[in-house]
Structure 1
Amino acid sequence: MELLESIPHSNEVNDLKKSFRVFIDTIIQYIEGYYNDRANFYKSISIFSEVNIDKIEWKDVECCIAFINNNNIDRDYLYNDFICIRSKFIELKSKCGSIHKQVQEFISSKLNLSKKDDITLNNEKPFNVECDIQADSDSEHEETDVRHHKEHNKHPSIRCDHLWAFLIHEENVPNLRNVLEFAFSIPASNAFCESIFSHMKFLWSNYRNKMKPELVGAELKVKVNSQLNCTEFYDYLLNNQDLLKQIRSSDKYTHVAKIPRRV
C-alpha cells in the first residue's frame, strides 16, 4: 500500500495492479500445469512412503510400474516379490507389535556405527533437545514446540527407506528392488526440507534470537546427523583427540580479521 500511495498518477497505479495480477495468474497457471501433468506419477510413487506396508495393495504397485520403463521388471515375479515382503512385514508386526527397534539396529549395523554412535533405541532424547529446552519458555507457541519435540522422541517414527531396506535385506526380490530403487531416487515430497525448517524454528526461538545464522546452521547439522545425548556426546569428544585438537586450535578464527590490542 505504501508503494501505491507514493505513485502520483492513478494510471500508473492501475497499470501496476494489472501487471501484478498478470504475474500472479501466470505463476498459478504454471504451477497447476506442472502438477496436473505429473500428479498421477507422484501419487503412484508416494505409496512407498507408507510405513504400514500391509495397507499397500498390488493395484497400487501396478500404477507405479506403469511409469517405469525398465525391461528387467517382470510383473509376475514382481507380484511374488511384493507378496513375499508384505507377508514378512505382517508376520514381524504380529510377533513384535512394532519393528522400530529392529529397523534401527539394522541401519546402525549397516552404517558400521559403534555403540556410542548408535541411533537412539531406548526413547532417549537427542542431546541438543535435552540441553536446550528451557522450562520457562516465553510464549505458549514455544512451549507447544517443546512438547511436540518431546512427544516425537517418546514415539520415534520409522523412515520409509530404512524400513524397505530392512525388509528386502537378504531377500531374493530383484524386481521389487528395482522398483524401490527407482521410487526412492525421486523425492515424492518436500517433507524432509520442511522438517529442517521445523527444527530451525525450534532452535532459533525468541529467547535465542541473538544467534547468528552460522551457529544455527551448525546446530542443525549436529541435530540432523546425530542422535547422541549429552553424556554420549561428551564421551565421544573426550575419545576423539583429533577433534579436541581442532576445537582448541585457533584455525577456526583465521577468517576473522584480528583487531590489534591497545596497551
Structure 2
Amino acid sequence: MTFQTAPMTPVVKWLLIINVAIWFVFQVIMEGFLRVPFTSIFGLFPGKVLFDFHIWQPFTYMFLHSMQVTHILFNMLMLWFFGAELEQRWGSKFFLIYYLVAGVGAAILYCLGVWVYALITGSQTGLIVPVVGASGAVFGLLLAQGMIFGERIVYFFMLFPMKTKYFVALMGLVQLASLMTSSVAGGEVAYLAHLGGIVAGFICLKMKGWFDRNEWKKKAKSKGRNLRLVVNNEKNEKPPKYWN
C-alpha cells in the first residue's frame, strides 16, 4: 500500500513521543535491564481485569509494546500514516477521543471474547497471556480511513490498485481469517483485539454521525424559531422581507 506524505499533526506527534518514550525508558531499560515488572502491571491481562479489577489495563496496554523493535516501529508508522490526515480533518480533540475509544474498545471486546471462550472451552490461556500495543487503536484509524476516504486509490503491495474501502475490508477479512485459524488469544498476534478496534471505531463514528445530525436539527429548529415574516401593507413601500 502506498501513502501520500503525511503531515506531523500535534496529537499524532505527542502520541508518537509518549509511545516511544514509554517503550524505551520503562520497557527496554527498566524492565529489560533492571527487571522492573512494568508489563505485568500495565499490560492487558483479561484475567486480572476480570478477577483482580485492574481496570486501568484496557487503557494503559495501548502505550506498551513488545521488545521487538519492529512491533513499535510498525505501529508508530501506521499511527502517523493513518492518523495525521484524520486529525487534520476532525481536529485534535475528536481525533484523540476517537483514538482512545478505539484502543479501549478493542481491549474491552478482546476481554469479553477471551472470557466467553474460556467459559465455553475451559481454556485459561487467554486470561493470563498479556496483550500490549497500539494495534487496536491503529485498526480503528484504518477503518476511519476506509469510511472517510473510501474512494481513494491505493496500491496494495505497491502493485495492485484498489479503493481504500476495499483495502480496509480486505484487512478486516485477513484478521478474521487469522483469528479463525488460531485461538481467540491469537498466539503472538491478538487478532481479536484488531477486530475489536475496527468494531469500536465503527460504533464511535456512527455515534458521532448521530450526534452531528441531532446538532444540525437543533440548529435548524433554532433558526426556524428566529425567522420572522414582516409584512407592510402601506403603499409604495418595499416588498416584505425575511430576516434572521
Q: TM-score, normalised by structure 1?
A: 0.25
Larger proportion of strand: 2
Q: Which has the larger radius of gyration?
A: 1
Q: TM-score, normalised by structure 2?
A: 0.26
Could you say which structure has the greater relative contact order, defined with CA pairs below 8 angstroms and 6 or more residues apart? Answer: 1
